[in-house]
Structure 1
Amino acid sequence: MRQILITGGTGQVGTELAAIDWPEDVTPLFPGRDELNLADPASIRAYVGEREIAAVINPAAYTAVDKAETESSSAFSINAVGPAALADATRERGIPLIHVSTDYVFDGSKNAAYEVDDPICPINVYGASKAAGELAVRTGNPRHVILRTAWVFSPHGGNFVKTMLRLSDRSELRVVNDQKGCPTSAADIAATLATIALRQLDDPDAPCGTYHFVNDGPTTWFNFASEIFRQHHQHGAAVPVVHPIETSEYPTPARRPTNSVLSTARLQDDYGIKPRHWREALADTLARLRETNSAGSHG
């Protein structure tokens, strides 16, 4: 029986990893924070050292982008110190570490999709902490895969899709239209992480390095919101009128990259993973939310 340690089990991606139909000879471990604290390297060493673990998937992160501007120590503890300790522990045991990172390591100034080898230049504390985590993993364990993703949504936790649905009873909404990216399903990220982890388990020579995974199709937050409401309205819901605005009209403590579009070419080449379009992934997520709400209303 091969055990895969998975951090962040209550997060969007962690929740989807728990729903994966893993092979019979693979057991995923989802320790709680009382068992494994990413901000405590000693906790990480103890947990990994006391178990026969075949691989580690690390989607856990401090993701409060705006709060990170004033909580940099917390952001760096979880997003950089934790991954460094995981890299040390996995390297010592010769096992692969699959680490989730973010589009926010880029400054957003490029006029095309970011490739994995483009220079990073984070413009906020969260991005800087994730860039530091990447460096720790990259230098700490040669058997690593860093998977950058962006604009994550799911039926779980807090995300843009759920926020828009919560605000759908308003008559009008204003949404930023000058930031580009690729909305990405947490379920699709989880499936990609599982594919990579199983390949790493079965093949010691499986490709390592940095990759991007996002759902296909660049868009803006405004167009993403418009599509959420279009699909929501198809099922009889009343929806607001959405107005495009510029980032300058919606100031936030942390700056956001203007362009967060990521190229998935290397992942397709090395792992054969071809992302589906985000609209299709969104339709699945909205259907799951309707099922949950329907079950709740009858419960």
Structure 2
Amino acid sequence: MIKVLIVGADGQMGQCFKTLASNITDLEFLFTGKQALDILNINQLNTIFNLENPNFVVNCAAYTAVDLAEDNEEIAQHINEIGAQNLALACKQYNATLIHLSTDFVFEGNVVKLLNETDFVKPKSVYGSTKLAGERAIQSALDKHIIIRTSWLYSEYGNNFLKTMLYLSKTKSELNIIADQIGTPTYAMDLANAILCIIRSEKQTLGIFHYSNEGVTSWYDFAVAIFKLAKIKIQVNPIPNTAYPTKASRPSFSVMDKSKIKQTYDLEIPHWLESLELCMERLSAEGKIV
């Protein structure tokens, strides 16, 4: 049986894998949070790999606080670059395939075009720079790697834009949301399912791939859709990004071309509105939307 090690299992993606794993019988999963496996701890890595000898390693561990990274560059660099490199070296030693999650923030995002895997990368933030450095460290250390860049990740779990909007709506009657940053939300459960399809595939085509849900939207329209589906009455105002300055610069347009991953692994990707509705139904069933 194929053994899959999920690293960073306490985070949003890790919890999605845990949910899916409860109904999967053809794969064996091992979930490790930071306490069980710190990717900066070489001894822990060697112990886990020697004991478990996984076939696949999915790296869900990352420093993702985009604005905080501007003041904590060393920490972000350690986790996003050195940690990724450590995993790659361990995978090489134990002949495992590494599936690593990266981000649309590796792009400058100043041109309105679908971004493909070979387009020029130029991060605008510390977060984006450290994630790009992690990609390159993996490419240098390990042949058997699959790097998946994704965008605007959300789910029932962890901290994300969807849950922030629902939280703010409890105390606010009006919200100002940026309308001129364009991208595509990604339901983390869809991404987790796609990764499982890759693991099960006999093709095992390696390299960099892009994955998000289908469609294009702004943060403003994303928020409006959330409140509409939740049947929450709140005034949402579109504003330019200049009206809401942040420490880290973000891509203005980061819609990714998913043709490569769809064709390579025969994936059908849902539209972001369809997946948002499904996520909201699950939150509602759990009593998390009032």
- Counterpart in 2 of 1:149? 150
Answer yes or no: is 1:260 the counterpart of 2:254: yes
Distance 1:23 1:290, change over 3 A: closer
SS at match of 2:159: coil
Task: Name the CA distance, whole Å, in 1 between partners of 2:102 and 2:20.
Answer: 20
Distance 1:264 1:97 in 2: 20
State how far apart, in whole Å, the 1-side matches of 2:248 and 2:55 are.
Answer: 38
Question: Following superposition of structure 1 onto structure 2, how do residues 1-299 of structure 1 map, counting pairs within 5 Å?
Answer: 1-21=1-21, 23-169=24-170, 170-199=172-201, 203=202, 206-233=204-231, 237=232, 239-293=233-287
Q: Quick check: 1:45–1:85 contact (8 Å CA) kept in 2?
A: no
Q: CA RMSD in A?
A: 1.6
CA contact (8 A) 2:40 2:78 kept: yes
**Equivalents in 2 of 1:148, 1:182: separation in Å?**
12
User: In 2, distance between residues paired with 1:40 and 1:94?
Assistant: 19
| Cα deviation, residue 91, structure 1 | 1.3
Contact 1:116 1:211 in 2 (8 A): yes
Deviates more, 1:89-98 or 1:175-184: 89-98
* Deviation by residue 1:77-108 (Cα, 9 ceiling, x = unmatched): 11111110111111122221110000000011
Q: How many angstroms does 1:49 deviate by?
A: 2.5
Return the letter of the residue paired with 2:235: V
Runs of 4+ aligned structure 1 residues displaced above 6 Å come to none
Deviates more, 1:37-46 or 1:131-140: 37-46
How far apart are residue 241 of structure 1 and its match? 1.1
Partner-residue secondary structure (3-state), 1:254? coil
Q: Aligned AA for 2:31?
A: F
SS at match of 1:19: helix
In 2: Cα distance, 1:61 partner to 1:137 partner? 14
Would you say how many aligned residue pairs link Structure 1 and Structure 2? 288
Q: Give secondary structure in 2 for the equivalent of 1:29.
A: strand
Equivalent position amino acid for 1:109 in 2: N
Deviation per CA, 1:195-234, whole angstroms, max 9, x where unpaired? 11222xxx3x52111001100111000011111111111x
* Paired residues of 2:49 and 2:94 also in contact (CA < 8 A): no
Deviations 1:228-286 (A, max 9, x none): 111111xxx4x211111011110111111101111100001100112110001111111
After TM superposition, the structure 1 stretch with the greater mean CA deviation from structure 2, 107-116 or 23-32, is 23-32
Matched residue of 1:174: which SS?
A: strand
What SS is found at the alignment partner of 1:122?
Answer: coil
Amino acid at match of 1:232: A
Mapped to 2, the partners of 1:245 and 1:25 lie a distance apart of 48
Amino acid aligned to 2:94: R
**Contact 1:49-1:89 at 8 Å conserved across structures:** no
Contact 2:53-2:94 within 8 A present in 1 as well: no
